């Protein structure tokens, strides 16, 4: 279920991302203005949620591939929790190092 929720969120983000980048078609100044707003602290926090969703979706996707290949079939639950723990730990580090961007 979490794979589907993060997947749907990432599909939504993908189209928003393409629209944001396409502001370049209006010129360098417009692009830089939009990107400057998107680097405000509130958007850095949203970026952290995005990074967490990407990381979890990727790790759990690897888990699904392994299970499809017959690896770890009997340990699906442990692998699921491992995905969550790796995501949470990595995000704790990323959040720590992003702090200067959130508080600037």
Partner 1 sequence: MPNLNSTQGLGNGGFWPWFLQRVSGFALIFLVGVHMWMGHFSGLQEVLDGRREELVLYEVVKLRLAQTAFIVVDFALLALVLYHALGGLRSVILEWGPAASQSRSVTLGLILLGIVTFAYGSWVLLHFILA
Looking at residues 22 to 41 of the shown chain, list those that interact with partner 1 (rule: CB under 8 A): 22, 24-25, 28, 31-32, 35-36, 39
Contacts of range 43-51, beta carbons closer than 8 Å, 24 or more positions apart: 44/98, 44/101, 44/102, 45/102, 47/98, 48/91, 48/94, 48/95, 48/98, 50/10, 50/13, 51/91, 51/94
103 binds partner 1 (CB under 8 A): no
Q: Given CA atoms 8, 13, 16, 17 in this order, what sign does their dihedral have?
A: negative
Looking at residues 50 to 69 of the shown chain, list those that interact with partner 1 (rule: CB under 8 A): 51, 54, 58, 61-62, 64-65, 67-69
CB-wise, 22 or 89, nearer to partner 1?
A: 22
Q: 63 near 39, Cβ under 8 Å?
A: no
81 binds partner 1 (CB under 8 A): no
User: Applying CB under 8 A, which residues contact partner 1?
Assistant: 4, 7-8, 10-11, 14-15, 18, 21-22, 24-25, 28, 31-32, 35-36, 39, 47, 51, 54, 58, 61-62, 64-65, 67-70, 73, 76, 100-101
């Amino acid at each position: 279920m979490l794979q589907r929720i993060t997947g749907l969120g990432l599909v939504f983000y993908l189209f928003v991302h393409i629209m944001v980048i396409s502001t370049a078609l209006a010129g360098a100044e417009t692009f830089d203005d939009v990107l400057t707003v998107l680097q405000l602290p509130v958007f850095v926090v949203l970026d952290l949620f995005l990074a967490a969703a990407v990381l979890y979706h990727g790790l759990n996707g690897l888990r699904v591939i392994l299970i499809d290949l017959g690896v770890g079939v009997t340990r699906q639950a442990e692998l699921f929790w491992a995905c969550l723990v790796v995501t949470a730990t990595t995000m704790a580090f990323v959040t720590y190092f992003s702090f200067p961007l959130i508080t600037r």
